[in-house]
Structure 1
Amino acid sequence: MAGGGFPAAEGGRVDDYGSGVTVSVVVTCLMAASCGLIFGYDIGVSGGVTQMESFLSKFFPEVVSGTKNARRDAYCKYDDQLLTAFTSSLFIAATLSSLVASSVTRTVGRQAVMLIGGVLFLAGSACNAGAINIAMLIVGRMLVGFGVGFTAQAAPLYLAETSPARWRGAFTTAYNIFLVLGTLSATVTNYFTNRIPGWGWRVSLGLAAVPAAIVVLSALFVPDTPSSMVLRGKPDRAPASLQRIRGPGADVEAEFKDIVRAVEEARRNDEGAYERLRSKGYRHYLVMVVAIPAFFDLTGVIVIAVFAPVLFRTVGFSSQRAIFGSVILSLVNLTSTSLSSIVMDRSGRRFLFFTGGAAMMVCQLAMSWMLAGHLGKHNAVVTMPRNYALGVLVLMCLYTFSYGLSWGPLKWVVPSEIYPLEIRSAGQAMTVSIALCLSFAQTQVFTTLLCGMKYAIFLFYAGWVLVMTAFIAAFLPETKGVPLEAMQSVWARHWYWRRFARDAKQEVQVNCL
């Protein structure tokens, strides 16, 4: 059996269309994956800016006075709801826009939505750089959030639909690699702008226009996906798009026929995608739509990514060293994410989930123990001894490496590939929206939770990592190397989800193998 022995959508043919890695598919996917730059830049820049004294002095002077109060609980230095609203407002805006992006994507295509997202992010970065009051900051963050929501919904779908099945994990991981590159560039920018008195934060926020411009230019030069073109009633243009992606010498006839069959299957049931998700035959997809983003955010990784400088300040680092610690974390994340793109399509999704989850739990338990023993369980200790503070940095690096190798890229890869075409946009939109909504809640309450739970906050997150890993072990089938048009066969073989698998014809094909 060619291509790993998975059935195509119809006719019993088993292959992955012979699609290989060509220059055209690499260039196209890299240009689409660059959408991750804007999300990553914003994650990296906000945490650093919110602990810059020049930024706090202008907009949040009460926080500055609190951090300088030596008698204040170390865990509560940055507990200010308006300050966290600066960070969290992006996520609530991104939640709303990602839901809208689902219907827009089906109407105008993946490529157009990525372009819209880049333009909105560009406008938001300009607004933030020129902010003169908190209201202007929040408006800018909302515009940036709208841009993130559009691109986070469309780009992973684009990558899943254009990449060869055998290497889909690696190509879809490219989005996360660009996200980490964006985070790294933001933390490096913060490291230098933190030295500029008075207005360094404006440079950090304004330079978000650079990744936004890259996304806009990239979106202008990539074609829409063949699946999207056929779905939008433009089948005459789809073969040329597929030929451009696969390369001039590729035989795309078989793959195009399966794309058309998948679209026809999606149109046979003309009820809405969201209504379809609630039906019994789609129960497994609905569970994954909710479970994957929910468990992901409850691991605490988003708050570690956003508030790493704040955490480093909490354990006693200076402002400049706290930002430098974030630069180190970003470099570790980039290394592990790049490694993940190499091993994901060889080791499989489930193996990375298991190993990453186990390592993340160990690191979180160790951080909790270290904070409890050397920063204090209450408010008796203001800063940690230097050696133990460095130990926290090492543990966060190990945590970040484990996350970047596994759950970081898998968060984007798995949802983009498991949904059938008729609910793909809706499923991806709901996955992204739930993740962003929970990110909003997490970033809004994290400093309060840190102040209230203290060292035990990492025990809380470790417990959720354990639950998520157990859920993956029981309910997520392996999807490595499976063509998108044949993904239903994976669910039909699963010990539990096969009772909900809707397409009996696919089950017959699987049983005949």
Structure 2
Amino acid sequence: MAIGAFVEGPAGGGGYNGRVTSFVVLSCIVAGSGGILFGYDLGISGGVTSMESFLKKFFPDVYHQMNGDKAAVSNYCRFDSELLTVFTSSLYVAGLVATLFASTVTTRYGRRASILIGGSVFIAGSAFGGAAVNVYMLLVNRILLGIGLGFTNQSIPLYLSEMAPPQYRGAINNGFELCISIGILIANLINYGVQKIEGGWGWRISLSMAAVPAAFLTIGAIFLPETPSFLIQRDGNVDEAKIMLQKLRGTTGVQKELDDLVTASNISRAIKNPYRNILKKKYRPQLVIALLIPFFNQVTGINVINFYAPVMFRTIGLGESAALMSAVVTRLCATVANIVAMIVVDKFGRRKLLLVGGVQMILSQFTVGAILAVKFKDQGVMGKEYGYLVLIIMCVFVAGFAWSWGPLTYLVPTEICPLEIRSAGQSVVIAVIFLMTFVIGQTFLNMLCHLKFGTFFLFGGWVCVMTLFVFFFLPETKQLPMEQMEQVWRRHWFWKRIVGEEEEEVDQAQTGAGTISMSTTSHSS
């Protein structure tokens, strides 16, 4: 049958005028650099936890397991430690809580305010990391970084989507994922370089250097303009929003887009509690996608690569330097794939990238699982040629993720949510990401210890499920203005049943109210 998921919006940005101006580019570069913060942290945590000097100082039990000082430890269990996983995953609990507060700040005080708060707290967290003398200081470092990321990850994708012209929204929003990838790459390169420092204090440089991108973002955010959507939503200043919109689009012919923004703002002003409102039946498609897209993003197993890549490569027999360099190689592949995604996302659309990337990741996870099942046992060392084969397949995996589920996890939920629930919807997305990142970070090393190679088959199975979800339930949204997105659900083979029922209920309620009013009038006369 013809699947109604293949619904596409009108080309050309829904009839809006304008182009990508230098003003838009500069604003989005500054805001998008917040992705470097998230990426840097993902890359740094995995790198330092594979450094012998860092493990020896803070996690001596893991250090002895890794070096085989403890007898009869399975190869799959050498890094299994509750304390180590708490260090890695504590950030995401803090981020989960922070992003829920960030929604209120973003809605009331603007996207820029949340970016400023996030960058400032991140700088403070970096100081604790570089000066750490015990595990407690490391945990304070992780918690502060988590709070900072909770604010920046909630507000930046929102900011980028609202600033971008509809026909280029995919490419501009994907810049956030590109910055995440660049951040991970920078972290991997720094880890590789400082690991060679004599005296074993190189990890301090890795942890404290997080302050550099945070300072750039914080200072830059002071000069960022607010989005036209927020200017109208804040105090109804249509004139100020029109001037900003003309500056962003490079043309005076912005009335159609402005009218849509005003309409969306009027609806948004009537909403007192966006979290309660997003639970309404008419927003069911947005809520389901805001929950499942980030959930599926995490169960691909990508963060196994992001913050455990050096640990995993050490587990399969590569040395300290080789493991850190392997993480650099995989990230280079991801960065190239991010650039490809920026070029093609607005041409081929979101669905095609998600489906192709899904198939690519399925094959990669199953292949890695098969190699480990045959060649990597509890004891002994896997041949280096197979270790490098796993590295190549992991490069294919991260490339598949980086041009599909990586950037589109942030793009799709922000563009499908109308203004009245947009901030709440983005908070749901980031909260799910942080929650699932915490769960994966907290359980992966233990899961690897018990499921062994089966861990990769488990991730591959989840990728199968999410690819089917995209095929059947995710409509195409490329180049469709966010203020006109409701038409997508009315044409979708599945969602139109739910949205249509809601509209019928509203019509019936209005008809009933009219009948009551008329009968009352008649009675009184």
TM-score in same-fold range (> 0.5): yes
How far apart, in 2, do the equivalents of 1:343 and 1:422 lie? 30
Residue identity in the other structure for 2:57: K
Residue 271 of structure 1 deviates from its aligned partner by 4.1
2:425 to 412, 424, 427: 427
Q: What is the CA distance between 1:256 and its match in structure 2?
A: 1.6
Give, in angstroms, the shift of residue 221 of structure 1: 1.7
How far apart are the structure 1 equivalents of 2:269 and 2:473? 28
Q: Where does residue 54 of structure 2 map in the other structure?
A: 55
State which structure, 1 or 2, has the greater radius of gyration over its C-alpha atoms: 2
Instruction: Please state whether the residue corresponding to 1:215 is helix, strand or coil.
Output: helix
Q: Which one of 218, 233, 236 corresponds to residue 216 of structure 1?
A: 218
RMSD: 1.9
* Alignment-derived partner of residue 521 in structure 2: none
What is the CA–CA distance in structure 2 between the aligned matches of 1:266 and 1:398, rounded to whole Å?
43
Paired residue secondary structure (2:453): helix
Equivalence map 1:97-496=2 (5 Å):
97-196=98-197, 197-235=199-237, 236-247=239-250, 249-268=251-270, 270-376=271-377, 379=378, 381-496=379-494
Q: Note if contact 1:294-1:434 (Cα within 8 Å) is conserved in structure 2.
A: yes
AA aligned to 2:116 is: L
Q: How far apart, in 2, do the equivalents of 1:316 and 1:171 lie?
A: 40
What are the superposed Cα offsets for residues 296-328 of structure 1, whole Å, 9 maximum, x if unpaired? 111111122110001100110111110000111
- The structural deviation recorded for 1:5 is 6.4
Q: Distance in 2 between matches of 1:254 and 1:487?
A: 15
| TM superposition shift of 1:237 | 3.0
**Partners of 2:17 and 2:254 within 8 A in 1:** no
Contact map agreement 1:314 1:383 (CA 8 A) in 2: no
Residue by residue over 1:179-200, the C-alpha shift from the partner in whole angstroms, topping out at 9 and shown as x without a partner, is: 1111110000000011123210
Q: List structure 1 segments (4+ residues) > 3 angstroms apart after TM superposition.
A: 4-8, 502-505
Give the distance between the partners of 1:115 and 1:144, measured in 2 at CA.
14
Q: Using the alignment, how far apart are the partners of 1:58 and 1:439 within structure 2?
A: 26
Structure 1: gaps spanning 5 or more residues: 9-13, 509-513
What amino acid maps onto 2:123 in structure 1? L
Range that drifts further, 215-224 or 486-495: 215-224
Do the aligned partners of 1:46 and 1:306 also contact (CA within 8 Å) in 2? yes
For normalisation by structure 1, the TM-score amounts to 0.93
Q: Give the structure 1 partner of residue 517 of structure 2.
A: none
1:326-354 CA-partner distances (Å, limit 9, x unpaired): 11111111000010000111111110111
Further displaced range: 250-259 or 441-450: 250-259
**C-alpha deviation, 1:238, in angstroms:** 2.1
Per-residue Cα deviation, 1:451-484 (whole angstroms, up to 9, x for no partner): 0000000000000000000011111100011001
Residue of structure 1 equivalent to 2:4:
none
Q: Is the 8 A contact 1:6 1:483 kept in 2?
A: no
Report SS of the residue matched to 1:237.
helix
User: Normalising to structure 2: TM-score of the pair?
Assistant: 0.91
Letter in 2 for 1:240: I
Deviations along 1:104-135, one digit per CA (max 9) or x if unpaired, are: 11111001111111111111001110011111
Partner of 1:11: none
CA contact (8 A) 1:34 1:218 kept: no
Q: How many angstroms does 1:243 deviate by? A: 2.7
Letter in 1 for 2:216: I
- The match for 2:22 is 23
What per-residue deviation string (whole Å, max 9, x for no partner) do you get for residues 44-68 of structure 1?
1000001111111111111111111
Query: Take 1:202 and 1:210, find their aligned partners in 2: how far apart are those partners?
Result: 14
> How much identity, in percent, do the aligned residues show?
42
1:232-253 deviation digits (Å, cap 9, x = unpaired): 1151432233233223x44223
Post-superposition offset of 1:386? 1.0
Instruction: Find the aligned partners of 1:354 and 1:154 in 2 and give their Cα distance.
Output: 27
Separation in 1, partners of 2:428, 2:83 = 28
Question: Equivalent residue for 1:511?
Answer: none
Give the residue type in structure 2 aligned to 1:41: Y
Which amino acid is 1:323 matched to? Answer: L
CA 1:55 to 1:359, structure 2 compared with 1: closer, same or farther past 3 Å?
same
SS in 1 for 2:499: coil
SS at match of 1:72: coil
CA distance in 2, matches of 1:224, 1:190: 36
8 Å Cα contact 1:282/1:500 also seen in 2: no
Paired residues in the alignment total 494
Counterpart of 1:500 in 2: which secondary structure? Answer: helix
1:77 aligns with 2:75: no
Q: CA separation in 2, counterparts of 1:34 and 1:243? A: 24
CA distance in 2, matches of 1:274, 1:315: 45
Distance 1:123 1:280, change over 3 A: same
Structure 2 contact 96–430 (Cα < 8 Å) conserved: yes
Q: In structure 2, how many angstroms separate the alpha carbons of the residues matched to 1:303 and 1:92?
A: 17
